[in-house]
Amino acid sequence: MIPSLDPSKSNSHPKSTHSFKGWVQGLRGNNHVQFLQLRTEGKIIQVVAEKEFLGEDTFKQVKGLPQETSLVVEGILQENAKAPGGKELFLHSLQVVGESDQYPITPKEHGPDFLHNHRHLWLRSKRQLAIQRVRSELSFAIREFFRNDGYTLIDTPILTGSIGESAGTLFSTEYFDLGQAYLAQTGQLYLETAAFAHSKVYCFGPTFRAEKSKTRRHLTEFWMLEAETAFLNQEGNLDLQERFVKTVLKTTIERTLEDLKVLDRDPAPLLEQLAKTFPRVDYGEAIQILQTAGEDITWGEDINSDREQILTTHFGTAIFIQNFPRAIKAFYMKQNPNDPKTVLSADLIAPDGIGEIIGGSEREESYEKIVERLKEEGLPPEDYSWYLDLRKYGSVPHSGFGMGLERVIAWVCGLSHIRECIPFPRMIYRLSP
Ligand code: 4AD
Ligand code: MG
């Protein structure tokens, strides 16, 4: 749908003419008629320029318009089932607003490096328009879900004085006389404090990891949705995650069908995956399945992305892997009372090679156990005194999770690399544009 086709919203002239403002995305035709693809409000409208109607000079001007020239066009809207949006504009007049010369991204094929170097322009391309629109809809659906569920949005800080996840992937900077500040790897610890104020809270913002790995699923700056709920155990946490993921994905798909078409993404297989219950597979059981599949892996090891894919293929949908070994998980995860070697945690693994999209757990309530785990991780407990206060003043069972936005966009759009899922990706080898 082209928003400006609504006459009440466009700059309509008395009765029948309409005007659109935009950029020349493409131009084709012959010596009598030209079809101009005008990008307006992120959508394409076809503008038909006829020599017989416009006269020789104006027709020649249209025919010679360079790609990405900005224009105001005016004419009459007419039905055309074959035109994008089902309508086209029969051109009466045009005015050039800004010229464009030798636009670097042409309809020919360009390599990914070239395109990423021109990311500031590449955003105008059809597929990129579609991906960013999916991102926008997904972000909106996420906020909508939590608002409808009675959650309060809490904006957690980006500059922090204590390490949220692991010391291995930190960006740090000098902070006046106070020593090192770190860019937030997560909002979780702050969100936990807010959960004791509001009971149900979420945050949604950029997070930072100095990931040294060059993979298809790692960015150094990515967006994370995190939710934290007081008086919720790990089972309830998984119920919430499953309901959340299914709701926001279905809503996003419904609202972006045209975009998914542009991306050649058939939503049917994804909807089928979402119709299934996400199996809750114990870590120990996952290790056994992998061993049976011939993998050389033993209890206690982390499960890498290739192995995650073996597991999702085995089950044919997204799966939770739960109750990981305590030693390989973060200090704040609650020790499993039924199996103290493990924690009440789960990762949600998406199929199609997307991998882990959610990490979450019930939180440790015991002051002593958290201090013990902090020390094991080499993190100074004094830096966490404010966090530990939660365990002193009205401690309650509580649980939460974090979902990586870009990986979910890649899943919805059927993309193999997450770098196109964020307007300006940050990776170890890319800081510009
Ligand atoms: O599993 P993670 O590290 O969990 C946390 O940060 C918890 N504090 C969340 C919580 O319980 N509130 O990260 C959560 C998710 C991962 O499952 C993944 O989807 C995404 O964030 N993620 C990344 N996405 C892109 N690039 C990276 N480098 C990512 N690291 C994690
Ligand atoms: Mg994780």
Domain 7-98: CATH superfamily, name plus number: Nucleic acid-binding proteins (2.40.50.140)
Query: Which amino acid residue places its CA nearest to atom 28 of ligand 1?
Result: 218
**Structural domain boundaries of the chain?**
7-98, 119-421
Residue 359 has pLDDT above 80, yes or no: yes
pLDDT at 2: 44
Cβ–Cβ under 8 Å, residues 23 and 107 = no
- At residue 26, the pLDDT reads 96
The predicted pLDDT at position 164 comes to 80
pLDDT, average across residues 200-205: 98
Place 247 in a pLDDT band, splitting at 50, 70 and 90: very high
Position 168 scores a pLDDT of 84
The region of weakest confidence among 121-125, 159-163, 174-178, 257-261 is 159-163
The finding on whether 349 has its CB within 6 A of some atom of ligand 1 is no
Q: How confident is the model at residue 12 (pLDDT cuts 50, 70, 90)?
A: very low
Confidence band, pLDDT 50/70/90 cuts, at residue 155: very high
Closest-CA residue, ligand 1 atom 27, reads: 218
From residue 65, alpha-carbon distances to 49, 73, 244, 358 in Å are 12, 13, 47, 48
Q: What is the dihedral of CA 206, 209, 213, 216, to 10 degrees?
A: -10
What number does the ligand 1 atom closest to the CA of 403 have?
15
Q: Do domains 7-98 and 119-421 have the same CATH topology?
A: no
Ligand 1 centroid vs 132 CA: distance in angstroms? 21
The Å distance, Cα 353 to ligand 1 centre, comes to 16
**112 residue type, one letter:** P
Query: What letter does residue 128 receive in the DSSP assignment?
Result: H
Q: Which ligand sits closest to the CA of 324?
A: 2
Q: How confident is the model at residue 39 (pLDDT cuts 50, 70, 90)?
A: very high
Would you say residue 130 has pLDDT above 70?
yes
Separation CA 90–CA 17 (nearest Å)? 9
Candidate from 8-17, 252-261, 305-314 with smallest mean pLDDT = 8-17
222 Cβ inside 6 Å of ligand 1: yes
> In the predicted model, what is the mean pLDDT of the chain?
95
Task: Quickly state the pLDDT bin for 118 (edges 50, 70, 90).
Answer: very high
CB atoms within 10 A of CB 354: 26
> What confidence tens digit (pLDDT) does each residue in 294-350 have?
999 999 999 999 999 999 999 999 999 999 999 999 999 999 999 999 999 999 999
* Alpha helices (runs of H) in 153-213, residue ranges in sequence order: 188-198
Query: 347 CA distance to ligand 2 centroid (A)?
Result: 6
Q: How far apart, in Å, are the Cα atoms of 418 and each of 4, 243, 257?
A: 31, 24, 20
pLDDT tens, 271-286? 999 999 999 999 999 9
Fold of 119-421: BirA Bifunctional Protein; domain 2 (3.30.930)
Task: Kindly tell me if the per-residue pLDDT of 7 is higher than 50.
Answer: no
pTM: predicted TM-score of the whole model, two decimal places: 0.95
* Structure confidence at residue 299 (pLDDT): 98
Q: Is the CB of 226 under 6 A from ligand 1?
A: yes
Ligand 2 center from residue 348 Cα (angstroms): 9
Nearest CA owner, ligand 1 atom 4? 359
Q: Residue 333 C-alpha to ligand 2 middle, in angstroms? A: 12
Residue whose CA lies nearest to ligand 1 atom number 17: 358
- CB-ligand 1 contact for 351 (6 Å cutoff): no
End-to-end CA distance of the chain: 31
Which atom of ligand 1 is the closest one to the Cα of 218?
26
Please tell me if the CB atom of residue 363 comes closer than 6 angstroms to any atom of ligand 1.
no
Q: Please state, in angstroms and rounded to a whole number, the distance separating the CA atoms of residues 68 and 65.
A: 9
Determine contact, residues 21/71, Cβ cutoff 8 Å.
Answer: yes
Ligand 1 centre from 417 Cα, in Å? Answer: 16
Across the range 73-89, mean pLDDT stands at: 94
Q: Residue 15 — pLDDT band, cuts 50, 70, 90?
A: low
Res 9 pLDDT > 50 = no
d(Cα 309, Cα 356) in Å, to the nearest integer?
A: 10
Residue 352 has pLDDT above 60, yes or no: yes
Q: From the CB of 359, is ligand 1 less than 6 Å away?
A: yes
Whether 407 lines ligand 1, by a CB cut-off of 6 Å, is yes
Distance CA 286, CA 416 (A): 24
